[in-house]
């Protein structure tokens, strides 16, 4: 990166063509602000978290909210440690994680395939569009009892729920992506007499990847929702079921602790998808910033 910047300064035609970049470099204060902006989230997030926990503790110990409604942060922490040390919770984590990942994987593969086909075959997309819209607006979690009847209380019904929820954002994004291949880029490949396979490999796939990832980022969040709601309504195991069990036992600290675990799991999965994106499409604006 720095090599490029250095070389750019030497290049003869940059000064007139790139006033924005030229204005950026010599201005030290501006650069300081950029650096500050970059690190700001890492400073602000812990502060916000502290304020939240502080406010929480304040509500419990000063205002005196009942601990059945709002257990103290420390109680939740103790409960969380108990859960993780006790060991049983790891099985539940594993089950929920398994449901989310398998459902998401199916959604990714099928969503990409269906999206690619519908993006290419215009008449087919026209034909199934009303059905797609109908399926999309239906609140899909309403189907969970049906899936439980069909596939039982085990993991299958949750995998299907996670998969269905993750499928739509992925499929729709891929459909859009396949259609958004730049016409000028297509002209380049056609002008070179490129084969269909070469066009797919060098042009269509890389230019659709950002859309696949955009869908996957939403999809992984939806898959977590699907699995948990599935466990809430018709589960015998998994973190969602543990939430319901804690509720039935009126164990508020454990209830909060499991929710913290779920939040952590969701965040980590999302981070994993984003990290994969960063590794796979480092060239894309969503990764590299919109500076140019």
Partner 1 sequence: MTTETPQQSPATRTEVPGIQPGASGEAQLEVVGVDKTYQARRGEVHALSNVNLSIGRGEFISLVGRSGCGKTTLLRILAGLLPPTSGTVTADGQSIWRGGKRNDEAFEHFGLVFQDANLFPWYTVADNVSLPLKLRGMGKRARRARATELCELVGLPGFENAYPRELSGGMRQRAAIARALSYDPTILLMDEPFGALDALTRDKMNLELQSIHAQAGATVVFVTHSISEAVFLADRVVLLTPRPGRIRSITPVPLARPRSLETETSVEFQTIVRELRHELDEE
The pair of structure tokens assigned to 15 is 């000064």
Q: Is 244 an interacting residue with respect to partner 1 (CB under 8 A)?
A: no
* Torsion angle (degrees, nearest 10) of CA 103, 104, 110, 114: 130
- The site string for partner 1 over 20-49 (x = CB under 8 A, - otherwise) reads -x----------------------------
109 three-class SS: helix
**Helix or strand run (H / E) with residue 280:** helix 252-280
- Measured from the CB atom, the residue of 70 and 188 that comes closer to partner 1 is 188
From the list 27, 32, 67, 285, which residue makes contact with partner 1 (rule: CB under 8 A)?
285
Q: Specify the residue, 78 or 284, whose C-beta has the smaller distance to partner 1.
A: 284
Neighbours of 268 (CB within 10 A): 10
Among 49, 127, 192, 264, binds partner 1 (CB under 8 A): 192
Kindly state whether residue 191 participates in binding partner 1, applying the rule CB under 8 A.
yes
Interaction of residue 9 with partner 1, rule CB under 8 A: no
Binding span for partner 1 by CB under 8 A among 38-46, 141-149, 170-178, 279-287: 279-287
| Shortest distance in whole angstroms from residue 3 CB to partner 1 | 7
- CA pair distance 18, 11, nearest whole angstrom: 11
Binding status of residue 278 toward partner 1 by CB under 8 A? no
User: What is the DSSP code (8-state) at residue 249?
Assistant: T
* Nearest to 77, CA basis, from 234, 270, 254: 254
Query: What residues have CB less than 8 Å from 107, skipping those under 6 apart?
Result: 162, 163, 164, 165, 166, 167, 170, 219, 223
Binding site for partner 1 (CB under 8 A): 3-4, 7-8, 11-14, 16-18, 21, 182, 184-185, 187-188, 190-195, 198, 202-203, 206-207, 209, 281, 283-285, 288, 291-292
């Amino acid at each position: 990166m720095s090599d490029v910047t250095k070389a750019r300064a030497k290049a003869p035609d940059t000064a007139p063509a790139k006033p924005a970049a030229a204005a950026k470099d010599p201005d030290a204060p501006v650069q300081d602000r950029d650096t500050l902006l970059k690190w700001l989230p890492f400073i602000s997030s812990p502060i916000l978290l502290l304020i939240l926990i502080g406010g929480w503790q304040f509500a419990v110990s000063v205002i005196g909210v009942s601990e059945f409604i709002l257990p103290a942060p420390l109680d939740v922490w103790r409960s969380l440690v108990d859960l993780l040390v006790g060991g049983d919770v790891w099985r539940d984590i594993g089950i929920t994680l398994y449901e989310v990942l398998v459902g998401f994987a199916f959604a990714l593969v099928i969503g990409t395939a269906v999206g690619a086909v519908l993006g290419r075959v215009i008449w087919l997309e026209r034909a199934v569009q009303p059905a797609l819209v109908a399926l999309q607006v239906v609140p899909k979690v309403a189907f969970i009892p049906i899936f439980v009847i069909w596939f039982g209380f085990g993991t299958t019904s949750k995998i299907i729920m996670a998969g269905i929820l993750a499928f739509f954002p992925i499929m729709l994004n891929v459909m859009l992506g396949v259609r958004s291949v730049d016409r000028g880029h297509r002209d380049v490949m056609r002008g070179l007499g490129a084969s269909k396979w070469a066009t797919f490999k060098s042009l269509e796939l890389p230019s659709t990847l950002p859309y696949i990832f955009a869908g996957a980022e939403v999809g992984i969040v939806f898959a977590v929702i699907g699995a948990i709601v599935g466990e809430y309504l018709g589960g015998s195991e998994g973190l969602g079921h543990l939430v319901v069990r804690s509720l039935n036992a009126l164990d508020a600290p454990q209830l909060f602790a499991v929710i913290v675990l779920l939040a952590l799991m969701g965040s980590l999965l999302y981070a994993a998808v984003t990290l994969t994106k960063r590794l796979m499409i480092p060239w894309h604006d969503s990764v590299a910033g919109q500076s140019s």
